Amino acid sequence: MYEADDSLSDEVPVALVYNGISQVVLMATPQDLPELALGFSLTEGILSSVSQLYDLEIEQTSTGILVNMEIASEALLRLKGRRRHLSGRTGCGLCGLESLEAVKPVITPVIARPSVSVAHIVAALKAFSSLQPLRAKTGSVHGAAKVSAGGQIEALFEDVGRHNALDKLFGCGARAGWNWSEGFVLVSSRASYEMVVKSAVMGVGCLVAVSAPTALAVQLAQEAGMTLIGFAKPQQQVVYCGHESLVWME
């Protein structure tokens, strides 16, 4: 038995405040919070475009972090009219729903399903771990990356929550105007139904997950016209839908 220093990831409450009204609290790693707030607002349907976010300020308090956003009046009205009470993600992801009819999400059809090279998936997987410094240091965070049509990782975000890492990536991409129908998104987690829904909202044509998808995730990916790959390792991957979009030899 011996003593050693250990690095732990931060997990803090982050309140998203729209036009002065606190709507949701996320437990998140406190980096890249503007990207997280914007990505969450887009993938949850609060904002329909980046232009509806007028201003964003970060405020540190004694109990957590406030992300104060000023949004368009039509977006605020849509938020107030939603029957779902927004809440931080849990394992089930359904907390706050008011009826069984609200469980199944409305899926957004993907406009274009890109051709994706298996060789590019392998190359991205080999580079993935080396681009996750927080994961290497703490072992307790997830990563989400945008991979170009040529197989290069263009951006990667980390967070203790898999949904948060993905929202950070989407928030960054929304500001930059990335074309999500090219290349693919790579995540270090399982592919839950929410990861598929968020990806479909942003127009992602191919989602690659290091771990397994759920049955509902596969069903929704099929409905969206998305390619979904799980158990992704350099040696092998499992294609759950979208086989026809993969390029096996070059």
Percentage of the chain beyond pLDDT 90 is 72
Identify the bridge partners of residue 191 per DSSP, sorted by sequence position.
Answer: 213
In a domain, 155, yes or no: yes
**β-pairing, 142-147 with 153-159?**
antiparallel
Residues in the chain: 250
What pTM, to 2 d.p., does this model score? 0.89
Q: What is the CATH number of the domain that holds 177?
A: 3.40.140.10
Domains contained in the chain, number: 2
11-61, pLDDT tens digit by residue?
899 999 999 999 999 999 999 999 999 999 999 999 999 999 999 999 999
In this structure, the answer to whether residues 85 and 126 fall within a common structural domain is no
In this structure, the answer to whether residues 98 and 149 fall within a common structural domain is no
132-188, pLDDT tens digit by residue?
777 757 666 999 999 999 999 999 999 999 999 999 999 999 999 999 989 999 999
Please determine, for residue 229, whether its predicted confidence score (pLDDT) is greater than 60: yes
Catalytic annotation, pick one of 92, 95, 206, 241: 92
In this structure, the answer to whether residues 240 and 163 fall within a common structural domain is yes
Please determine, for residue 71, whether its predicted confidence score (pLDDT) is greater than 80: yes
Task: Look at 91-100, 172-181, 215-224, 234-243 and tell me which has the smallest mean pLDDT.
Answer: 91-100
Alpha helices in 118-246 (DSSP H): 118-128, 133-138, 162-176, 193-202, 215-224
CA distance 225 to 241: 8
In this structure, the answer to whether residues 122 and 207 fall within a common structural domain is yes
pLDDT of residue 4: 45
Name the DSSP letter for residue 213: B
In a domain, 125, yes or no: yes
In a domain, 4, yes or no: no
172 is catalytic: no
In this structure, the answer to whether residues 240 and 126 fall within a common structural domain is yes
In this structure, the answer to whether residues 25 and 81 fall within a common structural domain is yes
Residue 239 belongs to domain spanning:
116-247
* C-alpha distances out from residue 93 to 89, 156, 162, Å: 5, 24, 12
In this structure, the answer to whether residues 72 and 143 fall within a common structural domain is no
pLDDT of residue 114: 85
In this structure, the answer to whether residues 98 and 120 fall within a common structural domain is no
